[in-house]
Amino acid sequence: LTVSAAALGGIPEVGVGVDLAGVLAAAAETVGGLRDGDILVVAHKVVSKAEGRVRHLSDVRPGEPARRLAAEQDKDPRHVQVVLDEAADLVRAERGVLICRTRHGFVCANAGVDASNAPTAGTVVLLPEDPDASARRLRARLRDLTASAPAVLVTDSFGRAWRHGQSEVAIGCAGLSPLDDWRGRPDAGGRTLRATWIAVADQVAAAADLARAKDSREPAVVVRGLERHVTVQDGPGAAALLRGPAEDLFR
Amino acid sequence: LTVSAAALGGIPEVGVGVDLAGVLAAAAETVGGLRDGDILVVAHKVVSKAEGRVRHLSDVRPGEPARRLAAEQDKDPRHVQVVLDEAADLVRAERGVLICRTRHGFVCANAGVDASNAPTAGTVVLLPEDPDASARRLRARLRDLTASAPAVLVTDSFGRAWRHGQSEVAIGCAGLSPLDDWRGRPDAGGRTLRATWIAVADQVAAAADLARAKDSREPAVVVRGLERHVTVQDGPGAAALLRGPAEDLFR
């Protein structure tokens, strides 16, 4: 079995309201066009920009909690206000990083609010309002444009509790089984696998990230060879990957 | 840029003392043989088995703490004793899972002690004593056998604090830069990237895992297209990915 990940070139800076599916379908021509069974992996920033999920810091009036936290953590109080607006819960604030649970349920730094690769200085990019819905819309539009139905993944890079560095994870998906459950199935020796429950969508996000450089305009990658995980139905989305607060072992 | 991951077929059950590098080099002939710039990703279980890191439960005398914990968590007290032997620290015990910090510093379920894909019933497989050293030894032996020096990654699948499912991560590596640090480098718009520090080794582990099925005897995968992360020197190993207890935000 061979799995491949190829970055799509030629994607211009994306502005609000752009037909992102059209841009992606055109860019995919460089890798032979999109086909059924492909997984199109898209960094959330272009999705957020196309959806207008950008805030100008000059429009933000930080409240008292944001000012206090910003002073404590040596951050811009307007940026902190946007983070608090996006956060359901502040998990931890330490060394300038605000680890939040977002309104979607993702636990990540700064509630996903980020200034790098923002459209202009003084703006920050937010996560999409509903990344699973973003993935479903992109997939539906790609189906119209290309007569094929690749799975669509929307991704971001998250830190990890016990390991250095970030890994790309799925924050939205459509047409991909996000988890592959081997619990109860036999291993190669016929013994029952107990805890094997593979986060396929996150592994696909990580694989795709390896195919692009962070300074290049390559927000999209086509992953091939994983037809077995691609579904006709859009499925449960990346929401299925979330541990709810009740299952969180670290509260 | 295209990255590919291909599983190696034809790897027999590995016993203690086997020349694992020889087995892997032979299996790699099915993908054109190993070359400089390749990354050979090996599931730790075959490494552990070749190194004799297997315990027979019938040889284990559980002590009082293991008996108590086993009763509480509804587990085999002998298995729990082996877990405690491998653990430097029990982080949390809940719903039958013992989340431990291993002596190496990995935070994972059951200190990496696992019965699935074990050589025979009644045995459990441990993590290698020093997975970075295992990777270095495999790489040195592959260099002798094949006159090429692929990077070597030793991997295991770990759960995550806030997300369901497991993702494959690097527990040992040689010849691969485990982290790619973009902090301070410019993004596509010329703005400084603040927090971009990519866990390359973990993403390679995840990509490789997608190329194999858990019930197949495919413990090894060759990843190509990442020559830019492969180094002549063996480098710091997967130990560089560990957050020390002092940096752990969740204690």
Q: Residue B184's pLDDT band (boundaries 50, 70, 90)?
A: confident
Q: List, for residues A8-63, the tens digit of each pLDDT value.
A: 998 999 999 999 999 999 999 999 999 999 999 999 999 999 999 999 999 999 99
pLDDT value, residue B126: 97
Q: Quote ipTM for the complex.
A: 0.94
Q: How far is B94 from chain A (nearest CA, A)?
A: 8
Nearest chain A residue to B167 by CA: give it. Answer: A199
Residue stretches of chain A with pLDDT short of 70 = 117, 185-195, 214-216, 248-251
Question: Which of B121, B204, B213 minimises the CB distance to A191?
Answer: B121
Say yes or no: A215 contacts chain B, CB-CB below 8 A: yes
Chain B partners of A240 at a C-beta cutoff of 8 Å? 164
Environment class of residue A184 by beta-carbon count within 10 Å: exposed (0-12), middle (13-18) or buried (19+)? exposed
Check A248 against B161: CB less than 8 A apart: yes
Q: Residue B190's pLDDT band (boundaries 50, 70, 90)?
A: low
Whether the Cβ atoms of residue A199 and residue B166 lie closer than 8 Å to each other: yes
Chain A partners of B243 at a C-beta cutoff of 8 Å? 161-164
What token pair was written down for A206?
């990580």
Q: What is d(CA A170, CA A153) in angstroms, rounded to the nearest whole number?
A: 6
Task: Assess whether pLDDT exceeds 80 at residue B168.
Answer: yes
Task: Assess whether pLDDT exceeds 90 at residue B185.
Answer: no
Question: Which range, of A140-144, B71-75, B172-176, averages the lowest pLDDT?
Answer: B71-75
pTM: 0.95
pLDDT value, residue B248: 66
Count of CB atoms situated within 10 Å of the CB of B239: 16
DSSP B245: G
- Count of A-B CB contacts under 8 Å: 242
Chain B partners of A249 at a C-beta cutoff of 8 Å? 92, 94, 99, 161
Chain B partners of A163 at a C-beta cutoff of 8 Å? 169, 199, 202, 241-243
